[in-house]
Amino acid sequence: MSIYILGVESSCDDTSAAVLEGTTILSNVIASQKVHAEYGGVVPELASRAHQQNIIPVVDTALKRAKIHKNQISAIAYTNGPGLLGSLLVGSSFSKAMAFSLNVPLIEVDHLQAHVLANFLDKNGEKRDKPDFPFLCLTVSGGHTLLLRVHDHFDMEILGRTIDDAAGEAFDKGAKILGLPYPGGPVIDKLAHEGDPKRFPFAIAHLPGLDYSFSGLKTSFLYFVRDQLRLQPNFIEENLADLAASLQYAIIKSLTNKVERVLKTTRGEDLVISGGVSANSGLRAAMQQLADKYHRRLFVPTIDLTTDNAAMVAVCGYFKFLKNEFSTIQAAPYSAARTSL
């Protein structure tokens, strides 16, 4: 008998609902909140209000697109953290109420595990190859930067993490300094195609071990642009593509340096990337180069599954469903990332 999981994601500024049959996506509806663009970043209170407006139509559309009646749902999986508390409360309260009314199990999902397991989704009736456990996974998003050894679906060892800004934040803050809209990552990515990545050398942190740091890069970028603007008021306009390419180069280099360090000391493990920043074309190319150099298979989610979406939440739900790992109505959302995954 088919297992249909409804997934609900509302941890930040995307309201999303998805329906899976097993690991196959039947629908994945994402309402991105435009309201934050004019503020240059996510405004938590506005995000909660927008989730509240979006959640019912988004879930309704996901069920319709999947051609599934709500009575066919086997379980509801929702993001319980980490994220913005007000935003999480909208998705979690909705999911609890719906599961209660349909009398189906409720499954809580960790957003970071969901990003990793996005690599286990299938779509358009095609079964994709999946990474073998254990694999090495770089999870890079607007809020998190993690280097993980994934032993099993729900056993993820943290090898390294950022001690300050996340990789996505480095893109977004750099873009803001250049006067570009939020989120800056995709804009920088596009501009970087036309620019010279070696034109301006920005600080690449060299922390011991496998942790990351991006605050030094942000500061060096800010001071450099500010100083150049004093000399040349049109500096940004005249050098935009090179600035974007050089910033992107420094972020990617910081990320791949640590990945390479692990690849040097291990053999054979698959290489995986996930999270919003894994949409970056430069990062994808750099990781492919590393995979080729160290004879590894590289797994990357399709672009639509890199940024926040409910299909990745639902696939976590599916694997938990198989293990009968259900949660109760008491499960409280959490805002900070867990110390272990």
Per CB under 5 A, residues contacting Zn ion are: 141, 308
List the structure tokens of 51. 């989730």
Scan residues 3-22 and list those touching ligand KG4 (CB under 6 A).
12
232 to 271: interface string for ligand KG4, x by CB under 6 A? ----------------------------------------
3-state secondary structure of 180: coil
Contacts of 98-104 with C-beta under 8 Å, sequence gap 24+, read: 98/6, 98/59, 98/70, 99/75, 100/329, 102/70, 102/71, 102/73, 102/76, 104/73, 104/74, 104/75, 104/76
Q: What, of Zn ion, ligand KG4, none, does residue 180 touch, CB below 5 to 8 Å by kind?
A: none
Partner from ligand KG4, Zn ion, none binding residue 195, C-beta < 5-8 Å depending on class: none
Residue 57: cis peptide before it, omega within 30 degrees of 0:
no
Tell me if the bond preceding 233 is cis, omega within 30° of 0: no
Q: Which does 171 bind (CB under 5 to 8 A by kind): ligand KG4, Zn ion, none?
A: ligand KG4
171 belongs to the binding site for ligand KG4 (CB under 6 A) = yes
* 3-state SS assignment for residue 192: helix
Q: Which is nearer to Zn ion, 78 or 249 (CB)?
A: 78
The listed partner (ligand KG4, Zn ion, none) that binds 280, CB under 5 to 8 Å by sort, is ligand KG4
Q: How far is CA 197 from CA 180, 186, 270, 273, 282, in A?
A: 18, 16, 28, 22, 10
Q: Establish if 279 lies at the interface with ligand KG4 (CB under 6 A).
A: yes
Q: Which is nearer to Zn ion, 283 or 291 (CB)?
A: 283
Interface ranges with ligand KG4 (CB under 6 A):
12, 141-143, 168, 171-172, 183-186, 189, 275-277, 279-280, 307-308
